[in-house]
Homo-oligomer: A and B are copies of this chain.
């Protein structure tokens, strides 16, 4: 008896809210995203926002989630190593923008256990990591990568440095950095193979 009663929620309002939230996020950063500002600029009542998201951080994550990060999926070539290099560079180009810092801040500030947080983590941050896993598995099957590696560690070795620099800001993040990471992870630094 409580299914379709009353006026349905307005899709128009929902979209206006997400759009405005995204704009404010890009203009002023996460810390300045206030529900009042979104409501005012989107021409929407505050309760309408709270009906959909429980606070400003959730709304911010939702706003970022609503925008496809990068739909341009990777072309798979005959060389998985080339594929990895290109994928890493693509990740860098996505996150080295203004949006990268916002995403990093948001990730740092979010409640780690909320449903939206998990979605955010998996779809925005860890997506690239899983793409990398696919490429590495392919590489292993072509004999380019050893089978005894600890895959999770290697993946963190590849993508960790990007977010490290994003977080700390101690060095620039460009495509050369991407190529250098891939090279270093492949080669190792030992004078001779430790195996």
Inter-chain CA distance A144–B149, complex, in Å, is 21
- Select A105's contact among B109, B121, B159, B192, beta carbons within 8 Å: B109
Inter-chain CA distance A5–B104, complex, in Å, is 40
Indicate with 1 or 0, residue by residue over A156-182, a CB within 8 angstroms of chain B CB atoms: 110111111101111100000100110
**Oligomeric state, in number of copies?**
4
Which residues of B have CB within 8 Å of A145? 189-191
A194 in contact (CB, < 8 A): yes
**B193–A187 CB distance below 8 A:** yes
Q: Which of A154, A167, A186 has the most CB of B within 10 A?
A: A167
Closest residue of B by beta carbon distance from A144: B191
- Select A163's contact among B31, B153, B168, B187, beta carbons within 8 Å: B168
Which residues of B have CB within 8 Å of A108? 104-105, 107-109, 167
